[in-house]
A and B are shown apart, each in its own frame.
Chain A
């Protein structure tokens, strides 16, 4: 058959193929370039193995703690109604889109040597503790990922039909029976996926390790690649490390194939589930304490950034504002590229269906395990014989950011698109709604919410990313996070505090605007 439906299908498959080819090039081509240009791998020394061990250890701790702590907090949020609940849940989305350096500055203000906690301990006569090293890295990762895990699990709670809790109440279930029969099975479904996502995110930790790690004993592989590349320009070692990092990530990526990843990262948790078994005073107090503690853990560091930064924003040097503009451009570019790639890929996954569709989906999600530094190093080596890589710093950053955000966007958009196709696909097919008209009239309006959320996520992630740019950029042409890092390392702490607040403000504003847009369509 050669009609509009068939044409639309071919176009979808072609576009999906282009995205798939680009992802393959990014994931494998860059690695190949590193291996090839390195002209022989340098044998790995014990320092490199230490980096591998540290990478795995911190990722296990970070993911484990995040998920374990998220379970009681998500449960408390799921069954309590209080003023500011919606606001707190929105805030839970914040750390994930928070620029790493801002989070680090906030955490240092609370847990650092001269932070609130240490000041308190000193006042009580205890010794001050040192935050840098494994526990600092894990703390920062938990700060980041605890809210993510909470949101994932909260969705699981929201997905348990209210009728089932009503049935449970009619059968006289207490909180324990409800947990065993209703909540436990949900957690068994969702928790492994949440753990794995966070584990994968932490495997490629670069900027947290850069700022919170403590010397050679707390160096991730990703950070070691940067050091080999930037300080020693030892391509052989960078290549060996890149292969190692790739191996770790590929292994974890294969795991992700086995475990079902959380199908969605947001939305649908606005209303609490009405419960009949959890109204005892003790449980209410316990939940309240959890919610307050969790809220403080998130809020205080952010408040510290705001408090310390506010007086210094007005006096920021012009480089900071120029860097902010540059970052804004990168973020908007990355957002457009990500959304376009995601839509093409998601349509192609559904058009292919079956095993081939699943393979394509996995390719899109595999970028979750991809290492930005490996990709960056590879692209640097590919560009170098042709042009000055420094000239492409922002462009490459934009493309790598887009690739990094793709798995999250795909996770948000693919299930929504699948839902649209399964509920309204036949109707659209029967009416001859194909191609661009279908995109305009059916798909985009129905996808508006996840699209807005994905756009906000991508824009904020890209805005705050400190990674590939560190390989490429020189003094000029820095992004805002890079400028902030320079201010931090040169101990211009007032300017750093001001710049951090600007970065925080722009990132949150980008997310907020996109997400707001997505929620705009009330009737849908």
Chain B
């Protein structure tokens, strides 16, 4: 279980408070108006934004003092999820061992992960030689390989077309189900939330609330969300 216990984030004039618990294995959308702090919330959980007070608990242990890589999670950003100078293979392999000194069985694991996301034979390609969808697949192969129990998505597929995005979200759901991972996904698209996230955290007016049942929330949105949905 992921618990944000009276977490306060302050950055200059910006304030966000969160007091939420998310069950193990849940798929949760994070929605709210632009600038409300959806990405900041994820950055705080991932360890890129310091929290002013409160605790972030994973299975009861406070992970707030830990550096990003020591937290039990994988995160995909809006962009720059791959190192442009490294091959698809190396980009995935980094998830296994940051030193890139792999044993033979580890190499097999990397190739296997690439195959799982449908990129068999693409090992030596660099990101620039891959399409947007393929780049997303490489990043997902790394998530698969890292096997962290919490997956955070900060709109990594925003630049993809609707069909491709749906494909990626299906892949995400498959991967998270396979890992038994908890998914927390920022989205602007209500349909995304409906499609793969039964629960939703609403970030608005300086507070993160929830998780609410997605359908019910969208059926009967509070004022702050209604303005956003239009």
Q: What are 12 residue pairs bridging A and B, where the CB atoms are less than 8 Å apart in the complex? A: A1-B67, A1-B70, A3-B67, A6-B67, A426-B48, A426-B80, A430-B69, A430-B74, A431-B98, A433-B69, A441-B99, A523-B85
What's the Cα separation between A442 and B90 when bound, in Å?
Answer: 11
What's the Cα separation between A524 and B80 when bound, in Å?
Answer: 14
Partner of B70, one of A427, A432, A442: A432
B135 to chain A, nearest CB (A): 13
B181 to chain A, nearest CB (A): 15
Contact between A3 and B80 (Cβ–Cβ < 8 Å)? no
Number of interface residues of B (CB under 8 A): 28
- Give the 9 A-B CB pairs with smallest separation, nearest first: A432-B69, A5-B67, A524-B85, A433-B98, A429-B68, A437-B99, A430-B68, A523-B126, A423-B80
What's the Cα separation between A5 and B68 when bound, in Å?
Answer: 9
Contact between B81 and A427 (Cβ–Cβ < 8 Å)? yes
What's the Cα separation between A1 and B95 when bound, in Å?
Answer: 22
Q: Does B75 contact A (CB under 8 A)?
A: yes
Please name 13 further chain A to chain B contacts, defined as beta carbons within 8 Å, in addition to the given A427-B77, A429-B48, sorted by A numbering.
A1-B66, A1-B70, A4-B69, A427-B81, A430-B68, A430-B75, A431-B69, A431-B98, A434-B69, A446-B83, A446-B85, A523-B126, A524-B85
Residues of B within 8 A of A5 (CB): 67-70
Contact between A432 and B98 (Cβ–Cβ < 8 Å)? yes
Residues of A within 8 A of B170 (CB): none
Contact between B83 and A427 (Cβ–Cβ < 8 Å)? yes
Q: Does B94 contact A (CB under 8 A)?
A: yes
Give chain A interface residues in 391-447, CB to chain B under 8 Å: 423-424, 426-427, 429-434, 437-438, 441-442, 445-446
Partner of A429, one of B67, B86, B90, B126: B67
Tell me what chain B mostly uses at the interface: helix, strand, loop, or mixed.
loop
Give chain B interface residues in 88-126, CB to chain A under 8 Å: 90, 94-95, 98-100, 126
Give chain B interface residues in 46-94, CB to chain A under 8 Å: 46-48, 65-70, 74-75, 77, 80-86, 90, 94
What's the Cα separation between A427 and B84 when bound, in Å?
Answer: 12
Q: Does B128 contact A (CB under 8 A)?
A: yes
Residues of B within 8 A of A260 (CB): none
Give chain A interface residues in 137-183, CB to chain B under 8 Å: none
What's the Cα separation between A1 and B66 when bound, in Å?
Answer: 6
What's the Cα separation between A250 and B70 when bound, in Å?
Answer: 45
User: What is the chain A residue whose CB lies nearest that of B66?
Assistant: A1
A331 to chain B, nearest CB (A): 29
User: What is the chain A residue whose CB lies nearest that of B86?
Assistant: A441
Interface set of A (CB-CB < 8 Å, partner B): 1, 3-6, 423-424, 426-427, 429-434, 437-438, 441-442, 445-446, 521, 523-524
Residues of A within 8 A of B70 (CB): 1, 3-5, 432
What's the Cα separation between A507 and B176 when bound, in Å?
Answer: 58
Residues of B within 8 A of A4 (CB): 67, 69-70
What's the Cα separation between A445 and B65 when bound, in Å?
Answer: 31
B79 to chain A, nearest CB (A): 8
User: What is the chain B residue whose CB lies nearest that of A422?
Assistant: B80
What's the Cα separation between A1 and B46 when bound, in Å?
Answer: 15
What's the Cα separation between A429 and B94 when bound, in Å?
Answer: 11
B144 to chain A, nearest CB (A): 14
Contact between A441 and B94 (Cβ–Cβ < 8 Å)? yes
Residues of A within 8 A of B66 (CB): 1, 3
Contact between B99 and A442 (Cβ–Cβ < 8 Å)? no
Residues of B within 8 A of A446 (CB): 83, 85
Partner of B94, one of A6, A423, A433: A433
Residues of B within 8 A of A434 (CB): 69, 98
What's the Cα separation between A446 and B86 when bound, in Å?
Answer: 10
User: What is the chain B residue whose CB lies nearest that of A446?
Assistant: B85
What's the Cα separation between A431 and B128 when bound, in Å?
Answer: 21
Contact between A430 and B98 (Cβ–Cβ < 8 Å)? no
A493 to chain B, nearest CB (A): 50
What's the Cα separation between A423 and B77 when bound, in Å?
Answer: 11
- Flag B16-48 by CB within 8 Å of A: 1 or 0 each: 000000000000000000000000000000111
With contacts A429-B48, A431-B98, A521-B85 known, is A424 near B68, CB below 8 A? no
Residues of A within 8 A of B65 (CB): 1
What's the Cα separation between A321 and B68 when bound, in Å?
Answer: 56
Residues of A within 8 A of B47 (CB): 429
User: What is the chain A residue whose CB lies nearest that of B46?
Assistant: A430
User: What is the chain B residue whose CB lies nearest that of A6?
Assistant: B67
A276 to chain B, nearest CB (A): 29
Partner of A523, one of B68, B69, B82, B128: B128
What's the Cα separation between A3 and B99 when bound, in Å?
Answer: 16
Partner of B100, one of A1, A430, A432, A437: A437
User: What is the chain A residue whose CB lies nearest that of B90?
Assistant: A441
User: What is the chain A residue whose CB lies nearest that of B87?
Assistant: A523
Partner of A437, one of B75, B81, B98, B128: B98
Residues of B within 8 A of A6 (CB): 67
B56 to chain A, nearest CB (A): 13
B147 to chain A, nearest CB (A): 13
Partner of B83, one of A429, A432, A437, A442: A442
